[in-house]
Chains A and B, each alone.
Chain A
Amino acid sequence: MAMTTDVPERIPFWRNVKTLGLLAQIIFAIIVVAAIAILWNNVTSALARSSLPADFSWLGSRAGIPIGERPIPYTPDDTYFRALAIGFLNTLKIALVGVVLASILGVGVGVARLSNNFLLRQIATWYVEILRNTPLAVQIIFWFTAAIATLPPTISAPIRLPGGLMFSNRGLAFPAIYPGFGFRDWLPWIVAAIALYAIVLYVRRRQIIASERPGLAWPAALLAFLAVSGTGYFVASGTATIPEPLTVDFTVERGRGVTFLDANGNGERERDEALYGFVPVTVRVSEAAIETQSTNLNEQRRIKPSVLRFPVLEEGEYESFDVRILGSADAERFSVHWTDAPTAGLIFEDRNGDGIYQEGEEVDADGVGFSGVRTLLTITGFSRDLVSDRDGGIRIPNFEPVGTQEEETEEIQDAGRSGVAGFGPSSLFGSPAGASSDEEEAVLDTTVEIRSSGALVWSRPSVPVSNYEGGFRFTASYLALLLALVIYTATFIAEITRAGIMAVPKGQTEASKALGLSGRQTFSLVIFPQAVRIILPPMISQYLNLTKNSSLAPLAAYAEIFAVSAIVANQTGASVPVTVLIIVSYLVISWFFSFVLNIVNARLAIVER
């Protein structure tokens, strides 16, 4: 009888799944490690042969690059680290605002795509189709170079809305509220008010639940909050005083000054004396003049002939003004017609002698405007209420003392006509120092005085020279990039919203209609809350996309982290460290969003039945 020896057959190792798996992993790991080692070796040996910075020590050296958009104080004398930090903050600045606006627009469009109104539905659909299918880069170019730069008026005649809002192709500025002198005293009141709000809210909720009747908890809580914080505001404002060593160092010939704490009391700001921002200041100039030339201005894709532009002056900022055309020949021939006295006007030749401007008189017989006519505006009793910006800076128009203008002989050549203005050896090796202060004997009669402020201070924007000062400002680059990002991302959010709403079962609508809810109530109380659960997770990944897409900023001349990094890599040659910094910055942002997404997912999961 043959015994079958039932020896448990050992699986040969080449057929053992476990061994094979381990082997595969080891081989894989060796390949990966070897590849990394080779690459690492290549990088280090390439770096070793060169003088390229391979560490991060250059972060502390002087950057020297100018950045226009700076959420924290920065000058080219600051370090590379600060420049990169500004880039990162600028990324956040555009991402946060963009996310909010894109959500609003996207949800709106998504809902509109399901509207009963045929027209609204079609517009929403085509908006999504067209903009989703066009590269973002093209859209940024369109908004920045084509639309924002050319369609709004120029800064010399911005669109001005009541309240102080200004819009031009250099961006948008609007009034803002900043902390005043009494703000610190007000803070405890606010903390108390918030605490009270929470307490009242909690108590009222309890009451409502106990009473088993419908009711809202937040109105009472808000009332309590407003009462406490309002009282605090008046108390703090009433007792607010101007901090003692606060002084303005105003340089009249430059038209700018700075508010700071004058530790040594000499009235001039030294490097070690702290700046003090958001100080309300009144600048008065008894009598001042400003000269300009008429020009054929290229504004809003049109040539506007014979345009005359002076600094933007509001009603009430001056007592009287007078305008005069310089040069006897010109003075006889031309007159000034104000379109917005005394800021904007045009030069015209009074051909019919009626002393009034008629259309066609602003151009000559060939239809060409009069450019280069010099005009002098004299202002008396100029007085402007300013609020110094975060860094303490204030600025008024570049006024000149009255009576110094006519002697000056202008010897500037036309760029086009004469070809090479200043292209000889003398200019090439000449000194760049231009400030020749000795020729001006007369000085503007300027007084600067600090006003007192309450807990808060209202800052209105102004245009002293050719940029917005004061208030809150968005540059054209920022606006264009924001617009492009919002409009592009909103198309995706709209699709997510539409899908989310459509995913809510139809029975929900029917049931709530049957319960007697109106169409609006059905949507806002039944459908949308359910849709939000479906919408939210993909929406958050769109937020991340928006943030990552902000790296197209160089196309709109906006200095976010990628744009700054590219410049820094170019200037320092530190390509490896910069690469690391870029990746780390974006990973931090990505991980932040996944963190939020996880929280949201967790919360949604709890709410779900």
Chain B
Amino acid sequence: MRKLLAAFVALMVLAGFAQAQTSLLDEIKLRGNMTCGVNQSLPGFGVIDSEGNFSGFDVDFCKAVAAAVLGDSEAVTYRALTASERFTAVQTGEVDVLIRNTTWTSSRDSEVGLNFAPTTFYDGQGFIVKRASGISEVSDFEGTSICVQSGTTTELNLADVMAALDISYTPLVFETADQVFAAYEADQCESVTTDMSGLVSRSTLLQDPAASVILPITISKEPLGPAVLHGDDTWFDVVKWVTFGLIFAEEYGITSDNVRDVAASAQAPVVRRFLGLDGQVMEQLGLESDAMITMIEQVGNYGEIFARNLGPDTQFGLERGLNALYTDGGLLYSPPFR
């Protein structure tokens, strides 16, 4: 599917040349509305509530982009996409930006024809196992069953690792993440393998979280981030720097509560430039000068988004880990706005 959809990339690139210079950015401003491809069934990242509203970590990034570009975090049309639909949706312009726990890989940059904005979530594939099974390392999977979701790279990574270590196990391949965890809960398999974030967010929702343990093993790197269509640099720059802006705001302690005060009293040139008080940084990106103020006021900084959707106060209780600022031992780092 993914490759099939690459078929359209060429087409779209050609189309891009044809209608040169009209960036998605202008189109979105004209429309007054942005379309965002998200997940609908990944707790903490993207779910639909009973009213039909989307919420989650990824969804908040959609809101941030909309707030920065249009001044209104609610001016987003969400498109729930499945793993196999998501790339076509970007390539055909069905969505303006894809923020759906999508791993940044080289082939998705080249062959699929995406451009990835900075990673918003550093992830890796791991395992959760039943304590009672006594599994503590990969070799203990000998003779057991492992639940995994089909149509993802997870499935392939698992097969590769197990083949390399010559471990014979029984894969139980399910179509959806819910089925995977339901089977695990029902003890149809000893373990589940998927992204660590998924494991952690789901593990707290298990009936007896203490009966399970996440193994301190990761078998892959999964940097997740927003993606836009290759070839529209103006729009790509906006998504990229909006994402950096959220990190930048956290670095400088600018939150949704204090952003107005900071804007009123800021002395540091770095912050003044960032908030559009000095210079033309935002205008150069094609945004209003107060875009960052609006965005942070409406959505908050990276830390707030994380805490709201995944952090210790939520049912998922995720710690920042790799997703902390570089000053706290994580990997998040924003280049300067100037």
Contact = CB atoms under 8 A, between A and B. Distances in A.
Interface of A: 46-47, 49-53, 64-68, 75-77, 145, 149-150, 154-156, 169-170, 254-256, 291-299, 303, 307, 309, 371-372, 393, 395, 398, 410, 412-417, 419-425, 427-430, 432-436, 464-467, 476-477, 554-555, 557, 559, 563, 566-567, 569-575
A170 to B, nearest CB: 6
Interface of B: 1-11, 84, 111, 122, 124, 126, 128, 130-134, 136-140, 142-145, 148, 150-151, 155-156, 158-165, 168, 170-175, 179, 182-183, 185-188, 190, 196, 199-200, 203-204, 206-219, 221, 312, 317-319, 321-322
B317 A421 contact: no
Contacts of B208: 295-296, 298, 303, 371
B173 A68 contact: yes
Given A423-B321, A555-B175, 17 more contacts: A50-B9, A52-B3, A66-B171, A298-B207, A299-B187, A309-B132, A371-B210, A414-B210, A415-B213, A415-B214, A416-B210, A416-B317, A436-B137, A465-B143, A466-B144, A574-B4, A575-B4
B148 A430 contact: no
A465 to B, nearest CB: 3
A466 B126 CA distance: 21
Contacts of A66: 148, 155, 158-159, 162, 171, 173
Contacts of A433: 138, 165
B187 A298 contact: yes
B215 A422 contact: yes
B1 A419 contact: no
B322 to A, nearest CB: 6
A421 B131 CA distance: 14
Contacts of B216: 421-422, 427, 430
The 3 closest A-B pairs by CB, nearest first: A416-B209, A573-B3, A422-B216
A149 to B, nearest CB: 4
B156 to A, nearest CB: 5
A68 B170 contact: yes
Given A255-B143, A309-B132, A573-B4, A149 B218 contact: no
Contacts of A414: 209-210, 213
Given A67-B173, A296-B208, A414-B213, A149 B186 contact: yes
Contacts of B188: 149, 169-170, 476
B182 to A, nearest CB: 6
A76 B159 contact: yes
A557 B217 contact: no
A434 B10 contact: no
A497 to B, nearest CB: 35
Given A371-B208, A398-B142, A432-B219, A169 B322 contact: no
Best-buried of A296, A414, A464 by chain B (most CB within 10 Å)? A414
B267 to A, nearest CB: 36
A346 to B, nearest CB: 12
B189 to A, nearest CB: 8
Contacts of A393: 168
A472 to B, nearest CB: 16
Contacts of B170: 68, 467
Contacts of B7: 46-47, 49-50, 52
27 contacts: A50-B8, A65-B155, A67-B171, A68-B171, A255-B142, A256-B168, A293-B132, A293-B134, A298-B185, A298-B208, A303-B207, A395-B143, A412-B131, A415-B210, A416-B210, A423-B196, A425-B322, A428-B221, A429-B218, A430-B216, A435-B137, A555-B175, A557-B179, A557-B183, A570-B2, A573-B3, A575-B4
